[in-house]
Amino acid sequence: MMLKKELESGKRVPVNEQLYKKYFVVKTTPVRGAHVSVNEDVVKAAKRYYGYFALVSNETMNSTTALEIYRNKDVVEKAFGNLKERLNFRRTLVSSEQSLEGKLFVEFIALIYLSYLKKQMSTQNLFKDYTMQGLLDQLDVIECFESPGQALRVGELLEAKETLCKTRS
């Protein structure tokens, strides 16, 4: 409706030109001026994919915070999927309670790293170039060797991975 009012008043906003062309048919006559009609088929097709959802919480927060927390839930679910698949946590395969606690601790630390990585990807705007899985796959092949009494040796890094590690840290 806002776009239609802009067209009818003759006060077009240059940023909206593509939307005008897509959603409206404008006929101009010298006597009557501009007649604006809505392209109903295009609007109906666009509305087909619109939707609503509600988030219910017992906490008081603004909508942006609630949506961010909801979306981060997906990261946790995928992280548990990573634990099961990448870190072989589907079956614990331990022989003592102490071993189980140690394995759980390592898995917990891995989830913290995944959460940190997701936050860094957001702040460094890496999601436009990588998915979380894609970035993990890029970093997965970096090898590091440590021998007692010797300096840490890092395996060969390709230029793209080296740049990724240096510029984003």
Tens of pLDDT, residues 34-77:
788 888 888 888 888 787 778 888 888 888 888 888 887 877 78
Whether 116 has a pLDDT exceeding 70, the answer reads: yes
pLDDT score of 166? 65
6 and 12 Cβ atoms separated by less than 8 Å: yes
What residue ranges do the domains of the chain occupy?
2-47, 52-123, 131-169
Predicted pLDDT at 160: 67
pTM of the model: 0.45
Q: What is the mean pLDDT of the chain?
A: 80
Q: Report yes or no: 84 and 103 within 8 Å, Cβ to Cβ.
A: no
C-beta atoms surrounding 14 within 10 Å = 5
> In Å, what is the CA distance from 37 to each residue of 14, 24, 46, 76, 145?
19, 6, 17, 47, 69
